[in-house]
A and B are shown apart, each in its own frame.
Chain A
Amino acid sequence: MEYQITTKDNVASIVFSGDITFSENVSFRQLLKDIAEQPVNRCEFDLSGVDMVDSAGLGMFLIAREQADTAGWKLAVTGAQGHVASMLKLTKLADLLDG
C-alpha cells in the first residue's frame, strides 16, 4: 500500500494504491496519526488505485471512521472498484464508512 496526502482548505485527500491488507497495519496507523495532526474537517479516501482489500484492511477503515467521529471530521470513501467494491458491498461497510 502506498498513499499520498494533499490538504487544501481543511480537506485532506488521500490517494491509495496497491493492496490494503493486514501487513499495512503499521503504515495505516501512521497515516491516521498524520491526519490527526492536521486541522481537517473532511477526509477523502480515494480507493480507485487499490486492487484489493482484505478483512483486516476493512478493519483499518473502521478505525479511521471511529477516529473521524471522535475528532469531528467527515470521512468519504470514493472510487472503489473491482474486488474492493465487492468487499464493501458484501460487508455493507460502504454506508457505514461514508458520512
Chain B
Amino acid sequence: MAIKPNTQTGNNPELIKSVLGARILVVDDMALMRQMIGMCLSRGGYKNIVYADDGDEALKMIEADMPDIVILDLNMPRVSGYEVARTLRADSRYEGLPILVQSASETPEERVEVFAAGATDFVSKPINQPELLARVQMHLQNRFLIESLTDFRARMQSELVMARDMQQSLLPETPSVREIERASGTKLESFYRASFELGGDLWGCWLLPGDCLGLFVLDIAGHGVGAALNTFRVHATMARFQRARSDPARFLTELNNILVPSFPLGQFATMFYAVLNYKTGDMTYAGAGAPRPMVIGDKGVRLLDSTGIPVGIVKKPGYVNIEDKLQPDESLFCYSDVLIEAPQPDGQMLGEDGLIAWVEEEASKPGRNNLVSRLLRRFFEGQPTSLPDDLTAVAVHPDRECRK
C-alpha cells in the first residue's frame, strides 16, 4: 500500500500545518528501526523528526525541547520504555504529551502494563506503516485541537475575569462608603459576589441635601455578557439625572424612560430606591419589582412594598413614592433574589419566609452591625462556591447614638 502525504486533517489548514510541522521524537535502540520509522514519517509529510538511542537520552531530549509526540520502543538497555512513560506521566509538564508505544510481543498482559505506565496508544511490531501514520496523525490532531481549545478557554476566562472586575468597579468604593457613614451616622454593611458567569447586579449609595442618603439595588434579568453590558448602560444612565435623586419615583421613571427603548425585549431591571433622612428616620421609597426589602428592628421584621413593573419594559410603569419611618432601632436591608431562590442543601429554595426566619434569628443575637455577614455566612454554608446569579446584600444600620 502506497503511503500518501498526510492530508486527512479535515478542512482546517492551520491544523494540517501544525500536524505536519510537529516535532516527533522516535526512541529506539535499533538503528534500523529508527531509520524505518523515520522514513515512514517523512513519506507521510512530517519534517521535524528527531531520534534518541535509548530511554535516558530520550528523557534528556524531552527535557531540553519538548516534542509533540513520542514514538517509544519498550525494550531498550538502561532506561526502558516503561520507565520513560512513567517518568513523563509523573511530571505535570508532560500531561498532554502523546506517547505511542511500539512493541514486538503483544500479550493482553503487556497491553495492560503499557497503558498503566502511561502510554496513549500502542502499535505492534513489525510496524504497519499506514497504521503508524494514521495513529500519529490522530494523536497529533487531538493534541493540537485540545491545545487550541485550552488556549481559547484560558483567554475567555481571563476576559471574563477582567469584565467581572470592571463590573465590580461600578460599585461604591470603601472610602466613599466610609465617607457616607461618617456624614450620616449610619453603618453601611454591603456584600456583592458575582456569579460564575457575568451577572447584572448593581447597588449604590449617595449623600443628598437635607440630611438624606439615597440607596438603590438593582438586578438586571438574566446573566451573561448581555446583562453585564446593560449594567454599564444603567450605571452611566443614572449619572445623568442627579436632580431626580431626592425623589425615588421620579428617579425610577426617568431611568425607565431611557431604558425602555434601549433594552432588548425580555430584558429588564428589578429595582428598589429609597431616600432616607438619617436624622429623623423618615424614608421615601419606590419599587420596581425588587425582592421586598426588610426593615429589621429589635422586635422583628417588617417588609417594604417594592411592587412595581421592572424598569425597561413599559413606557408608563406608574411608579409611586411610599412614605415610611425607620425607628431608632431599625435597619434597612435590601438583597438580590438569588438569596431566596438558590437551592439549599435540601434542594428547596429558602424563599422569603425562610429568609425572614433567618433574619429574625440573627437579629435577636448581639451585634446588629454585622447582621448581613452573619446571614451570608449561614447562606454560603449550604452553597457551592459558585452561585447561579449575582448576590448583592446591603444594609443601613442606625447609629443609635446619632438618631434620637
How many chain B residues touch A (CB < 8 A): the figure is: 26
Q: Within 8 Å CB of A36, what residues of B?
A: none
A25 to B349, CA, bound (A): 21
A56 to B337, CA, bound (A): 12
Q: Is the CB of A52 within 8 A of B349?
A: yes
Taking the complex as formed, is B307 at the interface, i.e. its CB lies under 8 A from any CB of chain A?
Answer: yes
Q: Is the CB of A55 within 8 A of B313?
A: no
Q: Within 8 Å CB of A2, what residues of B?
A: none
Q: Mark B263-298, 1 if CB is under 8 A from A, else 0.
A: 001111010000000000000000001011000000
Q: Which of A10-18, A37-45, A87-95 contacts B (4 or more CB under 8 A)?
A: A87-95
Q: Which of B306, B309, B351 contacts A93, CB < 8 Å?
A: B309
Q: Within 8 Å CB of B289, what residues of A?
A: 90-93
Q: Within 8 Å CB of A83, what residues of B?
A: 341, 349, 351
Nearest-neighbor residue (CB-CB) of A56 within chain B: B222
Q: Known contacts A83-B349, A90-B307, A92-B308; is A59 also within 8 Å of B268 by CB?
A: yes
Q: Is the CB of A89 within 8 A of B307?
A: yes
A14 to B309, CA, bound (A): 25
Q: Mark A73-98, 1 if CB is under 8 A from B, else 0.
A: 00000000001001001111100100
Taking the complex as formed, is A71 at the interface, i.e. its CB lies under 8 A from any CB of chain B?
Answer: no
Taking the complex as formed, is A62 at the interface, i.e. its CB lies under 8 A from any CB of chain B?
Answer: yes
Whole-angstrom distance between the Cβ of B267 and the nearest chain A Cβ: 6
The A-B contact count (CB < 8 A) is 64
Q: Mark A34-73, 1 if CB is under 8 A from B, else 0.
A: 0000000000000000001011101110110010000000
Q: Which of A55, A86, A91 contacts B309, CB < 8 Å?
A: A91
Nearest-neighbor residue (CB-CB) of A57 within chain B: B221
Taking the complex as formed, is A22 at the interface, i.e. its CB lies under 8 A from any CB of chain B?
Answer: yes
Q: Is the CB of A62 within 8 A of B341?
A: no
17 contacts between A and B (CB under 8 A): A25-B222, A55-B221, A55-B310, A55-B337, A56-B221, A58-B221, A62-B266, A66-B265, A66-B266, A83-B349, A86-B352, A91-B289, A91-B309, A92-B308, A93-B310, A96-B309, A96-B313
State the B residues within 8 Å of A (CB): 219, 221-223, 265-268, 270, 289, 291-292, 306-310, 313-314, 337, 341, 349, 351-352, 388-389
State the A residues within 8 Å of B (CB): 21-22, 25, 52, 54-56, 58-60, 62-63, 66, 83, 86, 89-93, 96
